Amino acid sequence: MTRFRKDRVAELIREVISDIVSRKIKDPRVQGVTITQVDMSGDLKSARVYFSCVPDGKADDRKQGMDSARGFIRHQLRQELDLKYIPELSFFYDTSLDYSQRINKILKEIQPGDDADDE
């Protein structure tokens, strides 16, 4: 399996799942979820789907909502995509947004010209 095909299928699945989550799932736990990345296995039979949301402390609830919608999402993927195998989906909270916000907060706290090291 070429890396190009794997990446192309991953991006296609990310786009379709994003559409399904935003338009077809009515579970309030899934509202506000953004699909950030999909990593496919080499044989295209499993996918790790990473999602992010507003950091409101409800990431676990959102993950439970995504896990409960797994069957519905696979069914929708089967209807919308012409793939030999519809991958098994595993959902993971993407912490990169939280990490970047924490870094930005630290950088804002640092005062320009702060010479604390000179003392």
Is the pTM value of this prediction over 0.75?
A: yes
Convert the pLDDT of each residue in 15-49 to its tens digit: 999 999 999 999 999 988 999 999 999 999 999 99
Locus of tokens 């010209």: 113
For residues 82 and 33, what is the distance between their CA atoms, to the nearest angstrom? 25
Q: What pLDDT score does 117 carry?
A: 53
Q: What is the DSSP letter of 86?
A: P
Superfamily (CATH) of domain 3-109: K homology (KH) domain (3.30.300.20)
As a whole-number percent, the residues of the chain with pLDDT over 90 amount to 61
Convert the pLDDT of each residue in 76-98 to its tens digit: 999 999 988 999 999 999 887 77
Q: Which two tokens stand for residue 100?
A: 């970047």
Q: What pLDDT score does 57 carry?
A: 77
Going from N- to C-terminal start, the domains of the chain cover 3-109
- pLDDT of 114 > 60? The answer is no
